[in-house]
Structure 1
Amino acid sequence: MLIYKIFRAPEWAALEEAGQTDGAPIDVTDGYIHISTAAQVEETAAKHFAGEDGLMLIALEAESLGEGLRCEPSRGGALFPHLYRPLRLDDVLWSKPLPLVGGRHDFPELE
């Protein structure tokens, strides 16, 4: 199953340069990397990245992330994927720009 992470441009650039990341500042504060399923990622963008341009959408294969990936309750009791290890560049299946169009993020077709 594919799962998704949204990065701001500087966060994505840092991952590309270093080869791994502990995530965005909120991820570091919380102690895990916040990830979303295909059904959750658009709401995540609207709630946490509203009006932000220059975002990157990163696709990850859940099964390849190993024991560091846990699904845990979050907003409204929904289970969200959380990664309890650094995210490595070689974990990324693909990355695509997430442009802001008419005030909303324009998502590619997701699996």
Structure 2
Amino acid sequence: MAWILLIVAGLLEIVWAIALKQSDGFTRLWPSVLGLVTAAISFVMLTLALKDLPAGTAYAIWVGIGALGVAAVGILALGESASPLRLACLLLILLGVVGLRLVEG
């Protein structure tokens, strides 16, 4: 159950980061509300997952899911760079997240 909470928390991190980008510095109401609410839920779910998972592993995976997801949305929907070097760095993050999951079982 802790792993499911952690994965959902990481996915919500993607939502809140993109929503806050769309909030334009908290000048747009609904993206701001969505960002703040999903951030709160994500933090609560991370906290619950930390009851059963090592802090370093859980935090690294949470951040990794968020970083990869936000980068993917940026590339696919926001026109951000998909240079080979950027993709290689994202691959390294992915390998780290998968590796940590495999090590922790």
TM-score bracket for the superposition, by shorter chain length: under 0.3
**TM-score normalised per structure 2:** 0.25
**Of the two structures, which has the highest relative contact order with CA contacts closer than 8 Å and spacing of 6 or more?**
1
**TM-score normalised per structure 1:** 0.24
Greater Rg, structure 1 or structure 2? 2
Which has the larger helix fraction? 2
